[in-house]
């Protein structure tokens, strides 16, 4: 069985993320969507909220598994017995950054193969960071996020505002 890992913070998940997973499904028997718990980032949504959102987005996909992890991605790949690591790229800047990370990752896990999947043109302008910024200013982001999580996303935002 061929498996791949598609990792990120997914804060929040976007249509671009869903597009990359759908491309992975054309090539792999199982796609592991892995939320990196990054201590250097201050997420808008909790790990549990992001797990719930991604599980909803991919609920109808029997060969997509969603999990969270901390530490190095190469360690996750080893633990899962996976060689293929998928990265979505929107532009040359994304590619340069990901290629640099790839050199270090392959140095730590020689069997690892990184695949760069370009996003579809209609998603080139979408990033979780820009969606988060729009959400903070109460802008509608429905056209950037999967339909399956629109209600949840708005509920999580109201919940966060009530705790401030």
* Residues flagged as binding site: 9-10, 17, 41, 73, 87-90, 98, 123-129
**Total Cβ atoms within 10 A of residue 60:** 8
Binding site for substrate, by residue number, is 9, 41, 73, 87
**Total Cβ atoms within 10 A of residue 151:** 10
Look-up of token digits 């903070």: 136
Show which residues are catalytic: 17, 41, 90, 128
Closest CA to 17 of 44, 56, 75: 56
CA pair distance 1, 10, nearest whole angstrom: 26
Binding site for ATP, by residue number, is 9-10, 17, 88-90, 98, 123-129
């Amino acid at each position: 069985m061929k498996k791949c890992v598609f990792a990120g913070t997914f804060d929040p998940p976007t249509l671009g993320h869903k597009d990359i997973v759908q491309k992975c499904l054309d090539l792999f028997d199982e796609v592991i969507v892995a939320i990196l718990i990054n201590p250097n980032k201050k997420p808008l949504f909790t790990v549990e909220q992001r797990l719930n959102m991604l599980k909803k987005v991919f609920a109808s996909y029997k060969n997509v598994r969603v999990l969270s992890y901390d530490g190095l991605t190469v360690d996750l790949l080893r633990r899962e017995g996976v060689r293929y690591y998928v990265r979505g790229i929107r532009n040359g800047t994304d590619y340069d950054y990901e290629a640099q990370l790839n050199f270090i990752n392959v140095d730590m896990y020689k069997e690892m193969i990184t695949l760069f999947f370009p996003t579809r043109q209609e998603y080139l302008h979408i990033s979780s960071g820009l969606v988060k910024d729009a959400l903070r200013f109460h802008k509608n982001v429905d056209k950037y996020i999967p339909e399956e999580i629109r209600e949840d996303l708005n509920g999580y935002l109201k919940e966060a505002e009530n705790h401030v």
